[in-house]
Chain A
Amino acid sequence: MTSDVPPGLVLIFGAFLLPVFGPQIRLILILGLPLVTLGLIWNLPDGAGLAVPIFDYQLVLVKADALSRLFATVFSIMTFAGGLYALSQKRVLELVAAFLYAGCAIGVIFSGDLISLFIFWEIMAVASTIVVLSVGSDLSNRVSMRYFLVHMFGGGLLLAGILFHILDTGSTAFGAMRPDSPGTILILAGFLINAAAPPLSAWLSDAYPEASYSGAVFLSAFTTKTAVYVLMRGFPGTEILMFIGVFMIFYGIIYALLENDMRRILAYSIVNQVGFMVTGIGIGTEMALNGVAAHAFTHIIYKALLLMSAGAVLYMTGKRKCTDLGGLFQSMPLTAICGIVGALSISSFPLTSGFISKSMIGQAAADEHLMIVWMFLLAASAGVFLHAGIKFPWFVFFQKDSGLRPPDPPWNMKLAMVLFAVICLGLGIWPEYLYDLLPYPVTYEPYTVAHVVNMLQLLMFSGFAFFLMLPWMQRTLTISLDFDWFYRRVFPAAIPGIWNSILQMDAAMRQTICDGLSSYFQGLSRRNTRPGVLLSQSRPIAGMVLWVVVFVAGYLLLSFL
């Protein structure tokens, strides 16, 4: 009955075995568990499998089709390579959290109903917070709490939405919806927060760069891509997603251009890439959804590769700012080459994985005659090369000579990078293997002469623009304010003032009411204080008590008679 086991559970329960064993067995678990998961994923039959009754509802823990299998596959490949990369990580807690996180992400992917989706969704939020928290510095503590609060807010919206939706429809099933009722709108908002959509997108660039060199690799893959998956399932063809996606694309580019921290550049670029996917979901045709699924797959691989390359630099030098780095290609050639392969892939250079996936989304926009969207996507493709494709390798590995001469990282990190670099190139050269896994039949041919030449023109001239504008691109020791400024600066600064004015208003109001009441009672007593009136005569309390005692005693006596 192996076909009934939810594949995510292997990683979820396996995670807790990691701290129990010594390094040798742990190594086997770290590399073995994702492979077992992968095996289970490919043994799942289509359709709903294991269902667990809870109260009046059924939790459908496993519901498989081509789309869920594709996402779960890339998640388990990611867990394998991330685990390999993190073998040199001393803090086992991070790995436990990362495996739990990955397992729950796969849990979300296979959830057939909204309740089990929500449960896995929330454990993901907790586990990813622990990945950041496990760094253990004062900074990471504060960052992870900000991260956690945003995700709890998003989770709250999602839960409220799910409850509304169940009350509305009476069904917990998770399928395509329209954002036309309070329930579905709240569900959409909850999903979008995890996709790093505006306005609450700053959690991503705030938290991910503060994770450890290996933690950031895991983080880059799961939260935003599960959000892409649930948006694909729940809201395909929702027009507003097109606008949100285009905004995210350019937000990512502009902020990455301004950024100095190498991993924060890559974090902004995640928002940019997820923007392409969200736009594709908004377009919503079969071609677009195929493109989104393919792009999510390739994006997870090359983004992890980029973060592995940046993580290797951080691990070997302890430095993370472009202004401190440069010239590292001389002593870290393998890291530089792998970073460049990742950079070319994200820029969708021909023969890399990005070329065969991102172009499908552009094609879908063209097929639907969405000229403005198509023009934006094209400009954004050029912009990706600008902000990630050249900027990241240039400032880290070339630029000036920083004088740093660290060697390439340990064998396991090198192996993980080479594995992902090979996958990036392999998918670019033989796209049919990925196309076979997509949810709809693929009629798209990426390698036409016109497409290759046009893409090369676009990218080479984008690169030309980079070097023309190089004086404007020089990094400074700065950060860029984002929406998180409101909850990091404005609200904390404003809250004491707001609190004070509330207290003052409260005091003034109570004073007025008390004054009014006491003058009313004074007037009342003045009117009634006339000798001879029965009710206005004062009598001693002792007398009252005496009479009460007499009555109660009499009552007792009577009741016993």
Chain B
Amino acid sequence: MSDIEQKHWLIRPGTIHLIWRYGIAILAILVIADFFVEPHPYFQIDGTFGFFSWYGLITCILMVVFAKALGFFIKRSDTYYDE
């Protein structure tokens, strides 16, 4: 599959580049949407600007980092239980 012509259109470098661009654009639009959407905060923090955006990003990064750190202690080769 080294030949670019033979690759599925969805995974050609050009398409992937476009997906990234549109993806970033959608993220930007979603953040900007906060200016126009009437917030319905239940608490204080969720009424602040862009709360759902940064909270989603930060918590996900934290979860990945935590999983990685925990992995140092609990990860074993997948033949570990095979006697």
Which A residues contact B (CB, under 8 angstroms)? 250, 253-254, 257-258, 260, 321, 327, 329-330, 366-367, 369, 371, 374-375, 378-379, 382-383, 386, 398, 401, 403, 448-450, 453-466, 468-469, 472-473, 476-482, 488-489
Contact = CB atoms under 8 A, between A and B. Distances in A.
Given A458-B52, A478-B78, A254 B67 contact: yes
Contact of A450 (B31, B40, B59): B40
Interface of B: 1, 8, 10-11, 23, 26-27, 30-31, 33-34, 37-40, 42-43, 45, 50, 52-57, 59-61, 63-68, 70-71, 74-78, 80-81
Nearest to B38: A450
Given A258-B67, A382-B56, A481-B76, A329 B43 contact: no
A167 B40 CA distance: 51
Contacts of A330: 8
Contact of B70 (A258, A386, A455, A479): A258
B70 A379 contact: no
A319 to B, nearest CB: 13
Contacts of A481: 74-76
A257 B52 contact: no
Contacts of B10: 329
B71 A258 contact: yes
A327 B30 CA distance: 30
Most chain A Cβ neighbours within 10 Å, of B42, B43, B68:
B42
A382 B60 contact: yes
19 contacts: A253-B63, A327-B11, A367-B42, A371-B43, A374-B42, A382-B55, A449-B38, A454-B52, A457-B34, A457-B50, A457-B52, A458-B56, A461-B54, A461-B57, A466-B60, A468-B61, A472-B68, A481-B76, A489-B81
A327 B6 CA distance: 14
Contacts of A465: 56-57, 60-61, 64
A477 B43 contact: no
B11 A366 contact: no
A463 B26 CA distance: 12
Contacts of A379: 55, 59, 63
B63 A386 contact: yes
B30 to A, nearest CB: 5
The interface centre, meaning the residue of A250, A321, A378 with most chain B CB atoms within 10 A of its CB, is: A378
A389 to B, nearest CB: 11
Given A448-B40, A450-B37, 16 more contacts: A321-B78, A366-B43, A378-B52, A379-B55, A386-B63, A401-B1, A453-B37, A455-B52, A458-B52, A461-B27, A462-B56, A465-B61, A466-B60, A479-B78, A479-B80, A489-B81
Contact of B61 (A250, A398, A469): A469
Given A374-B43, A462-B57, A465-B60, A254 B66 contact: yes
Contacts of B81: 479, 488-489
A398 B11 contact: yes
Nearest to A398: B11
Nearest to A484: B81
Contacts of A450: 37-40
A477 B63 contact: no
